[in-house]
Structure 1
Amino acid sequence: MKHQVLFGIKCDFKDEKALLKAIKDYLAKFNRTPSTVQKGSMLEARLPHRIRQFHWNLNKETGTWFELFPNQDLDNKYFSENHKDCTWLALILFHLDFPGYEKNKSEKFIIDMLDSIGFNYEILLETDNKERIKGDAVS
Structure 2
Amino acid sequence: MSTYMANEANTTQAWFVIDATDKVVGRLAVQIATILRGKHKPTYTPHCDTGDFIIVLNVDKIKFTGNKWESKSYQTYSHYAGGLKITSAKEMLAKKPDEILYQAVKRMVPRTKLGRAQMSKLKLYVGSEHPHQAQKPVELKVS
Q: TM-score, normalised by structure 2?
A: 0.28
Q: Which structure's residues are more often strand, by fraction?
A: 1
Q: TM-score, normalised by structure 1?
A: 0.28
Task: Determine which structure has more spread, i.e. the larger CA radius of gyration.
Answer: 2
Q: Which structure's residues are more often helix, by fraction?
A: 2
Identify the structure with bigger relative contact order (alpha carbons < 8 Å, sequence gap 6+). 1
